[in-house]
Structure 1
Amino acid sequence: MTDEPVEPDSSAPVVPPLLLGTYNPKIDAKGRMAIPAKMRAQLGEGMVMARGQERCVYLLPQSEFRRIAAQIQRVSVGNKAARQYLRVFLSGAVDQDTDKQGRVVVPQMLREYADLGDDIVVIGVGTRAEIWNRKAWEQYLSDNEPEYSDIADDVLPDLEF
């Protein structure tokens, strides 16, 4: 047995960063939001903001955004639902880079879409983060937490805790 470093397996799939947690940054008067430090490293250089589901804003690493866009585009152009989703998703997407203080500008159209004032919540949702109006997030949790245990069997049928 040697003490030489082992080369990583280049055929192994690249696992995207796992974005977790809940953070409470503010949006300043110029529309800037500080990306939580831990998420900043996981999102990497260049990220994309886009319209999310349930009136939130998605914050995605560039690679994850490209993966999702490519997956949607593989659906037949003849599929009306796919065309509609692609139009809404891509027309509301904006490339972003953080400034020296780790902030990004949340574009006005996305702030309006998600009703984002200065009181927001940023949550990690695995391969993306979501930016929510704090009150809307609290209402979402309140509405959905009672069903959290009930839906586990449907969402995770083979997973045992």
Structure 2
Amino acid sequence: MRFYGTFFLSLDAKGRIAIPATERAKLEELCCSRVVVTADLGDRLLVYPEPYFDELADRLNQLPSLKPTTEALQRTLLGYASYAKLDTQGRVLLTPAQRTLAGLEKEAVLIGVGNRYQLWRKDAWAEQQKRDRELAAAALAEEPELADFRL
């Protein structure tokens, strides 16, 4: 199952986000609404369906444990991870550490990116969109064959 789309969300007073109904249905079917929220390498969070995160965690645990890069990835992706089951209203609680890392206070943007979601601060997402458009334009100028993906 793949996740796509952009959804504008609000955090409630307890630091919860409500997953949109269309996405809840997918998560219910795929993993009985069990997700893992964790940090990404940028100032955003990742929301994985539990089985997809478990696969990632298994791969991380197979990396050489004494390498600094392995430790950094494990501290980030595993150290910030929290398992959750969406409540009856489709909400999931973000931990204080997760909210601080991503700078999330009131508004967020949930982006479906294949096997997971990215959770952005609204203003950071707007800035990223500009960078993405510039990067895409530069890539198309250098590699016109990429234009096959344009609509």
Q: Sort the TM-score into its range (normalised by shorter chain).
A: 0.7 to 0.9
Q: Which has the higher helix share?
A: 2
Matched, 1:21 2:5: yes
Q: What does residue range 11-160 of structure 1 map to in structure 2 within 5 Å?
A: 17-43=1-27, 44-45=31-32, 46-151=34-139
Q: Report the Cα distance in structure 2 between the residues aligned to 1:118 and 1:153, rounded to whole angstroms.
A: 38
Which structure 2 segments of 5+ residues have no match? none
Note if contact 2:40-2:76 (Cα within 8 Å) is conserved in structure 1: no
Shift of 1:159: 10
- Aligned AA for 1:24? F
Residues paired across the two proteins, number: 143
Deviations along 1:74-133, whole A, 9 cap, x unmatched?
211232211221122111000011111111111111111000111111000100001110
Q: Report the Cα distance in structure 2 between the residues aligned to 1:37 and 1:151, rounded to whole angstroms.
A: 35
Q: Secondary structure at the match of 2:88?
A: coil
Q: Report the Cα distance in structure 2 between the residues aligned to 1:141 and 1:86, rounded to whole angstroms.
A: 28
Question: What root-mean-square deviation, in Å, do the aligned CA atoms of Structure 1 and Structure 2 show?
Answer: 2.2
- Aligned AA for 2:98? L
Q: Which has the higher strand share?
A: 2
Q: Secondary structure at the match of 1:54?
A: coil
Pair member with larger Rg? 1
Shift of 1:152: 7.0
Q: Secondary structure at the match of 1:53?
A: coil
Aligned to 1:5: none
Relative to the length of structure 2, the TM-score reads 0.85
Which structure 1 segments of 5+ residues have no match? 1-16
Give the 3 Å change call, closer, same or farther, for CA 81–32 of structure 1 in structure 2. same
Note if contact 2:38-2:81 (Cα within 8 Å) is conserved in structure 1: yes
Give the 3 Å change call, closer, same or farther, for CA 153–78 of structure 1 in structure 2. farther
Shift of 1:26: 0.7
Q: Report the Cα distance in structure 1 between the residues aligned to 2:98 and 2:89, rounded to whole angstroms.
A: 21
Deviations along 1:41-88, whole A, 9 cap, x unmatched?
223321100001321110000111011111122211232211221122
- Aligned AA for 2:14? K
Task: Extract structure 1 runs of 4+ deviating beyond 3 A.
Answer: 149-154, 157-161
